[in-house]
Amino acid sequence: IAVHYDAAAQAQVTPRPDVVISTKKGAGYPVGNAGQMGTLHFTNTYFLQSAIKLSGYLFFNEGTAWGTDSLTVSNMDVAFPVNFALTVTSNLTVRDGGNLTLRDAIDGSNSFQARNLMLTNGILSVSNYTGVSFQQDVSVSGAGGALNVWASPLDIGQDLAINGGTMRYSFVSTNPHSLHFGGNLELTNGAALHLYAGPTNSIAGSFHGGLLDLSGKNLVIPTNCVLYPYSNPTNGGSIKMAVNNLTVGAGGSINANGLGYKGGDSRSQYKGYGTGGSAPRGGGGYGGQGGKSGGAPYGTVAGPMYPGSGGGGFSTYAYVGGNAGGLVHVEATGAITLDGKIFVNGLSGDSYCGGGSGGGVLLVCRTFSGNGSIYAKGGHYSNANCGGGGGGRIAIWTKVTGEIYQRVWNGLMPGSVAISTNTLPAAFTGSFGNSVFLDGGLGSATAYNGQPGTFRWLDYSGNGTIIMVH
């Protein structure tokens, strides 16, 4: 739809036309098969108003910026032009099936801010902005509510409450600290939080590609709520979580199944990605060797700071190997209570491909307790003559804060004591094979099974010598 008019004459029209102009997409069935919305072309920004009544990709002959005190998008699907500067000084509300998209060029310079953001069964998507900030609270509610922020620094001045909705955030590739909370993070009623790490350069001293910084604050993942930490699939940069106390309630989970290095594809000559990535058709390795002459173990037993590695693909049919489990890295100054589940399992590949390895779990805290489960299993074979992925690595440090852990790990406190054992902490109700799983994935033959992964509990207790008990 194109609406052309004399801008000066149109500005004199009163009252302003109260009209809906829409090229909204069709829903499609099943979910995910919707069409794309059409385009709306105007002479200038005259038809923009605080209650948006336009649906479509917007284009303007004149005007690259527009501001309003408050903005509401209700049951409208609108995308502003690339490099368009939208300013909302007060509240931004997207509700009742509304969808607002803000896009900038990769090298653009636009930023966006508002006082409060309220998404009630509505979606806000922002990509490639130099900054996105909300001075006060952000609320994402309802199964249709979603906040998607891609490759843009995000600053939330006060609380982020996800009540039955979804948030997806990808860290800026050059800034693992690009997400900031001034208040609390609250997950309720089936909320989902997806965090995508950027690439990292461990030589520069930073293993993580994204930091969820809740220092001094508690993170609670209650029943039916899930946190998904995605590692960079080709570089391995991963999410680090810094909290006061972490509680994963019964029915809640941190799920990094298949969120590590990806399986082998045409770009890798069908070798799985990652240090333990397997040759074609073999299983990825990490804590355990991958099956069918698969990927070798790597990393350390006491400090798994990497995700798992991908299974080998199969070039004959361009099939892709299984993705590996990701990394769950939590450093708590207080307690970690696990009554729910942590998953870092590898996935099975396509036909004739190897399984991905299990991923890594590194938990650092003063006390660890609960009756939940941790899974770091390798992915299975998918057809004849294929290997299973090796199991992952799990390490739990207790009686230690993140800062002390880093100093011990880097050799800056050589007189410290860390008793290392393959038994579970006494305050954690469970057993291997019952609540802690490190199995290698099944191969197409027993000889092609992936090898099991590794576990260590390190109990820090002051000055002395380091004792390793195997």
> Using one digit for the tens of pLDDT, what is the confidence trace for 317-349?
899 999 999 999 999 999 999 999 999 999 999
- Distance in angstroms (rounded) separating the CA atoms of residues 248 and 363: 13
Distance CA 217, CA 303 (A): 24
**pLDDT for position 271:** 95
Lowest mean pLDDT among 46-55, 211-220, 417-426, 443-452: 417-426
Q: Which residue has the higher pLDDT, 170 or 408?
A: 170
Residue 172 DSSP code: B
The residue type found at 313 is G
- Note whether 143 and 165 are within 8 A (CB): yes
Q: Is 157 left (phi over 0), alpha (psi -120 to 50) or beta?
A: alpha
pLDDT of 470 reads 41
Q: What pLDDT is attached to residue 415?
A: 47
Model pLDDT, residue 133: 96
Look at residue 404 in the predicted model and tell me its pLDDT.
57
Q: What is the pLDDT of residue 186?
A: 97
pLDDT at 110: 87
Is the Cβ–Cβ distance between 363 and 395 less than 8 Å?
Answer: yes
Q: How do residues 142-190 score in pLDDT, each as one tens digit?
A: 999 999 999 999 999 999 999 999 999 999 988 899 999 999 999 999 9
pLDDT level of residue 407 (50, 70, 90 thresholds): low
Q: What is the mean pLDDT of the chain?
A: 91
What does the alpha-carbon distance between residue 127 and residue 116 come to, in Å, rounded to a whole number?
Answer: 19
Among 374, 358, 379, smallest CA distance to 286 is for 358
Q: Is the pLDDT of residue 409 over 80?
A: no
Q: How far is the C-alpha of 327 from the C-alpha of 208, rounded, in Å?
A: 10
Round to whole Å and give the CA distance between 26 and 36. Answer: 8
Q: Which residue has the higher pLDDT, 337 or 28?
A: 337
- The confidence score (pLDDT) of residue 465 equals 46
416: confidence class by pLDDT, cuts 50, 70, 90 = low
Asked which of 173-177, 223-227, 447-451, 463-467 is least confident by mean pLDDT, the reply is: 463-467
- Give the pLDDT confidence score for residue 206 in this predicted structure: 53
Averaged pLDDT for residues 276-302: 95
The answer to whether 360 and 301 have CB atoms below 8 angstroms apart is no
Q: Which two tokens stand for residue 68?
A: 């309003």
End-to-end CA separation in angstroms for the chain? 71
Strands 454-463 and 416-421: antiparallel
Q: What is the largest CA-CA distance in the chain?
A: 84
Q: How much is the pTM?
A: 0.94
pLDDT of residue 468: 44
Average the pLDDT over each of 21-25, 167-171, 192-196, 462-466 and give the range with the smallest value. 462-466
Query: Cβ–Cβ contacts within 10 Å for residue 50, how many?
Result: 11
d(CA 436, CA 455): 9
Give the residue-averaged pLDDT of 403-419. Answer: 57
Q: Residue 446's pLDDT band (boundaries 50, 70, 90)?
A: very high
pLDDT of residue 406: 65
Q: What is the pLDDT of residue 304?
A: 93
Which segment of 259-263, 436-440, 464-468 scores lowest on mean pLDDT? Answer: 464-468
Contact assessment for residue 346 and residue 359, using Cβ atoms and an 8 Å cutoff: yes
Q: Where are the alpha helices (DSSP H) in 317-461?
A: 402-409
User: What's the confidence (pLDDT) of residue 467?
Assistant: 44
pLDDT at residue 162 in the model: 98
Q: Are 306 and 277 in contact (CB under 8 A)?
A: no
Q: Could you read off the pLDDT of 294-309 as tens digits, one per residue?
A: 999 999 898 899 999 9
pLDDT digit string (tens) for 87-145? Answer: 999 999 999 999 999 988 777 788 999 999 999 999 999 999 999 999 999 999 999 99
Distance CA 219, CA 210 (A): 17
- Measure the CA angle with vertex 311, ends 306 and 317; round to 5°: 150
DSSP class per residue in 336-349: EEESSEEE------
CA distance 104 to 264: 32
Tokens 């009554």, located at residue: 339
205 confidence band (pLDDT: 50, 70, 90): very low
